[in-house]
Amino acid sequence: MKETQDVTESTKAAPPVAAKKPHESEIHGIKRVDDYFWLREKENPEVIRYLEDENAYTDVMMKHTKATQTKIYEEMLSRIKETDLTAPYKLGDYYYYSRTVEGLNYPIHCRKKGSMEAEEQVIMDENKMAEGKDYFAVGSFEVSPDGKMLAYSVDYLGNERYTLKVMDIDSGKDLGDKVEDTYYSVEWANDNKTIFYNRVDEANRPFKLFRHTVGTLASEDVEVYHEPDDRFFLSIRKTRSDAYLLLGLQSAVTTEFRYLDANTPAGEFKVVEPRQQSVEYYLDHHGDRFFVMTNADKATNFKLMETPVTKTGKANWKELIAHDPEVTLKGLDAFKDHLVVEERRKGLPVLRVWDLKTDEKHYVEMPEPTYAARTSANYEFDTSKVRFSYTSLVTPRSIFDYDMKTKERTLVKQTEVFKYDASKFESKRIYAKAKDGTDVPISIVYKKGALDNGPTFLYLTGYGSYGASYDPYFSTSRVSLLERNIVFAIAHIRGGGEMGRSWYENGKMQHKMNTFTDFIASAEHLIAQGMTTSDKLAIQGGSAGGLLMGAVVNMRPDLFDVVVADVPFVDVVNTMLDETIPLTAIEWEEWGNPKKLDDFNYIVQYSPYDNVEAKEYPDMLITAGLNDPRVQYWEPAKWTAKLRATKTDGNVLLLKTNMGAGHGGASGRYDYLKETAFEYAFVLDRFGLLD
């Protein structure tokens, strides 16, 4: 068992949290006191100083790991083909791709006309645009239908409020168009001069759709639609057929779509089917009909319908694929002669191909028993090929073009990984028994021989929220753990979507505790199987996965040795009570609304910040982003402060705040690797495995 960290070298103590008048509030007749509420004051110099002091403390506490950090970083870098290009995709007359150059943080976007043998045209060099910036991200990248202009957006803070611009591709010069506070949705009409985009409100919710004419001022833009309901996000996209623009309005459990002929951008969007609480539908266009995927009429796992484009209301929907309690429909891709339906069967993603001319259907065969697969960059409508990506815990990401007529697949590109031999590693799926008897899948990968000598060190991760599936994917960075005989595992807990829609429904709202108890059961099962022990078990999760970390470490701190919580959503009650915070209103349908007594009583049972107790906690590394709009920096900061003041152990507790980034951490690929190396070094240090 390792000893408590010795910091006598620097005599650096943990940063004290300045005493402030506690913030008092009352809800449902219950008095609530928040001693660290003041850390929300981002403009307060004391807050910034506190975060910087925490960073300085973290630097000191991690100083002895610098050599290991460097070694891991160099290992990860050595596996990457630094000068490389992505799989080209065809759009109009061009093949588009991006390439990376050794030593440069960001991609360079390019195209070639007619074939990949043609002369390269550089569209955008992100490295030049990022010069002198601590953070840089491209939000939208949309080429006009005639291929002459690029509508793109950039963010220099990490707060996901983008500035939209338009570029003449041949000259590489901006045309003067500039719109602030846009979000991720940007779409061209077919006239090559009209752009639709969404803007965000003060809470960072995309709530308005605007129409912009190239060459005009943003002040002249026309507001097309305003979504007043705080639970709904607004987006815009064009169908693959290029026939329609689709205005999407989506809450956590309800959707509504409106459509407009892409040739008449000044027209009025028409409602497909008016929203109905807890009913979702999604659509794609094909000829004189829309395909509609919906959970209407208690089709929990969704069913497939069709409706004429002239009569889109639900009364006209005709069933094509019936609801199946064992199979979940996850997505649609309509082509001229084919329809591809993404499904999940027994926890695995599968692709069903439907020949719309012959009515024949078949599934795309996958080479491994556990994997992750999804359709990829499919921009052409009149084609017999569908592109999909494939990966597994041992197989690097591979891009395939699959001929839907001949069933032949062509490997377009597989991520090249140096110094990696897949035959040295083994993966499998096992099942833990949850508290209520449910089988919880766990995907595992390890170096052959790692388990030959009994329990070893194990790194367990999970997510379990929003119906998102944490599929088993390959990671070049993860190899650094595997090569050190550390087993890597993913717990596919409820709240995610791995095992179907009910898997999600049974891990949200008043069933959220299943997410946490499933994870605990997974950890206990790995120990019971002799793979690891509690003093050799590290766990990690980010964002809602950080909530998972906070909840399970409160519930079973004895079960884990090391915890990494990345940008963790831990102040659940306070955040869900504050509608000025981004995402709060829309997430009431994920977590519940604590303004309702039943929801309050349930959430307060697991909210990590509210359940910190005077007891021993494992070694913990907590990260934050100062400009994070999704999980505000103060959540991990407040949680750290409360843990420092309350816990009874001498174990390590570190807070690392990126002062120039948001939810995703560092934006450059090299900087991102350094952050990963830092976290791995922390885990190795606490395991006593420093190189």
Single out the catalytic residue among 155, 628, 667, 685: 628
The residue type of 150 is L
CA nearest to 63, candidates 618, 539, 690: 690
* 663 is an active site residue: yes
User: Exposure pattern of 344-373 as b/e (b: 16+ CB <10 Å)?
Assistant: beebbbbbbbbeeeeeeeeebebeeebbbb
For 177-241, what is the HEC assignment?
Answer: EEEEEEEEEEEECCCCCEEEEEEECCCCCEEEEEEEECCCCHHHCEEEEECCCCCCEEEEEECCC
What's the CA gap between 51 and 659, in Å, rounded?
9
Strand partners, 163: 154
Please report, for residues 43, 408, 550, 648, the alpha-carbon distance to residue 57 in angstroms, rounded to integers and kept in the order given. Answer: 22, 57, 22, 19
Single out the catalytic residue among 492, 607, 663, 685: 663
Single out the catalytic residue among 140, 398, 543, 667: 543
321-327 long-range contacts (CB < 8 A, ≥24 apart) are 323/298, 323/299, 325/300, 325/301, 326/301, 326/500, 327/301, 327/500
Which H/E stretch holds residue 491?
strand 487-491
For 283-351, what is the HEC assignment?
Answer: EEEECCEEEEEECCCCCCCCEEEEEECCCCCHHHCEEEECCECCEEEEEEEECCCEEEEEEEECCEEEE
CA nearest to 657, candidates 553, 567, 595, 582: 567
Pair of tokens at residue 585 = 């209103």
Q: Which residues contact 440 (CB under 8 A, 6 or more apart)?
A: 431, 432, 433, 434, 491, 492, 493, 494, 518, 521, 522
Give φ, ψ of 626 to 5 degrees: -60, -35
- Three-state DSSP state, 38: helix
User: Active-site positions?
Assistant: 543, 628, 663
